[in-house]
Amino acid sequence: MKQLESHFETLIGGQLPLNLYEPVHYVLTQGGKRIRPYLVMQANELFGGNPKTVLYPAAAFEMLHNFTLIHDDIMDNAPLRRGKPTVYKKWNSSIAILAGDALATMAFQELLKTPCSSETLIEMCRLFARTSVEICEGQQYDLDFETADSVSKEAYLDMIRLKTAVMLAGCLKAGALHASAAAADCNRIYDFGINLGMAFQLQDDILDVYGDKALFGKVCGGDIRDNKKTYLYIVALEKADEAQRAKLQHYFGSTDFDFQEKYNAVKAIFDALEIKKETEQVMQSYVDKAIAQLVLIHSDSPAKETLHNLTLKLCNRNQ
């Protein structure tokens, strides 16, 4: 990852206009978990690819991810990201939108630098473009759900597949493509990523309610504040008695509540119905599916065990 950090420093440093590139530099150099580029690199290693040239698709996917965060934070009115002010809070929404737009295009430019065959590059670009569009589809569904009268568990799971899982799957497949892996293995590592992403997002939903703000890096209860119909809320609505259901619908019918009051009331219902436990069980089912796909891949690389351990770590994290 040190090579990636250095790459971002040289990629952005000193460019003009400052109000465009300073926010880009700010978001790219905040660190974070760097899960996306790490997955690109591990999949590349899994199939014996060049560890030097994989830097370009790894950087491209991390840049795409950070573009989505800049815009997501505006839509979610999120004040913190990674424990620091979000881009629109530090500058303003107009600058943040433009910086995000620039970052998305710069990500594609970065991908095009990859020294590989034209066939591989075209395939990676198709994957990158499809992933970008699917993430936007998922984000729109997420916004639509905020004002929907009801959302099914199936609709919610499909939304997080688009919003979160396809990015992790795309990263893994990009690394496999870069390493010239067989088509069957590219599909297996993609399916592994989908299931990993589903589990990752469900854990994120749990942390939004039950996480430690100091470790989580952003305000807990943001989904409740914004009336996001997460898996926890959907299951709670199904299991609630008449009084609990009425209270949930009351609080999720408006954002005009004292935040702490709303958060405490909703969390109390989740606790009474053991929603955290049920969501953790669903999350674990996706972890199991992810590991099952990984087992099918024939590789003696240490990256296989690394990806197995990473799956367990990501789905038991506290931040």
Identify the pLDDT of residue 235. Answer: 97
Name the residue type at position 28.
L
Residue predicted with more confidence, 6 or 119: 119
Q: How many CB atoms sit inside 10 A of residue 153's CB?
A: 12
Q: Which of 92, 93, 39, 95 is nearest to 65 (CA)?
A: 39
- Domain residue spans in the chain? 32-53+114-314
32-53+114-314 has CATH 3.40.50.300 classification: no
74-83, 99-108, 158-167, 182-191: the lowest-pLDDT one: 74-83
Biggest alpha carbon distance in the chain?
62
Q: Could you give the 3-state DSSP secondary structure of residue 80?
A: strand
274 sits in the region (left: phi over 0; alpha: psi -120 to 50; else beta) called left
Contact 54, 133 (CB under 8 A): no
Q: What are the percentages of helix, strand and coil residues in the chain, rounded to 5?
A: 75, 0, 25
d(CA 187, CA 190): 5
pLDDT digits (tens, 9 = 90+) for 41-66: 999 999 999 999 999 999 999 999 99
Which pLDDT belongs to residue 90?
A: 97
Q: What is the pTM of this model?
A: 0.93
Q: pLDDT tens, 203-252? A: 999 999 998 765 555 668 989 998 889 999 999 999 999 999 999 999 99
pLDDT of residue 236: 97
Contact 176, 46 (CB under 8 A): yes
